[in-house]
Homo-oligomer: A and B are copies of this chain.
Amino acid sequence: MASALKRIIPLFDRVLIQKAEAVTKTKAGIIIPESSQAKVLTGKVLAVGEGSRTESGSIIPVSVKVGEEVVLPEYGGTKLTIDDKDYFLFRDTDILAKYKPE
């Protein structure tokens, strides 16, 4: 991983995510028209903040871990371009779901 990417620490309950490439071909190599490409946006967790703060200041850790595969909303997230690649910061509470490892 690029060094800048390795050094980045999201703040609070932000999560750094690399979005999965859209699957444009079936396993048999047939091109999938955009309209029927999977609507589920997924991504991989690269780094997580320490968590959000309660009213009294204690910290609630985020609910995803580095390496986990997550389901993302269609909109939202802050784009960070590091070494010419796009990554995204999402708030923990905006991430829809995660996948149990296969």
| Chain A residues within 8 Å of B, Cβ to Cβ | 3-4, 6-12, 14, 16, 36, 38-40, 49-50, 53-58, 60, 63-64, 71, 73, 78-82, 84, 89, 92-93, 95-102
| Residue in B closest to A64 when the chains form the complex, CB atoms | B11
A9 x B56 contact (CB < 8 A): no
Q: In the complex, what distance in Å separates the CA atom of A4 from the CA atom of B3? A: 33
Q: In the complex, what distance in Å separates the CA atom of A40 from the CA atom of B85? A: 11
Q: Which residues of B are found within 8 Å of A9, using beta-carbon distances?
A: 97-100
Q: Which residues of B are found within 8 Å of A80, using beta-carbon distances?
A: 39-40, 71, 96-97
Q: In the complex, what distance in Å separates the CA atom of A81 from the CA atom of B74? A: 12
Most chain B C-beta atoms within 10 Å of own C-beta, residue among A11, A40, A54, A55: A11
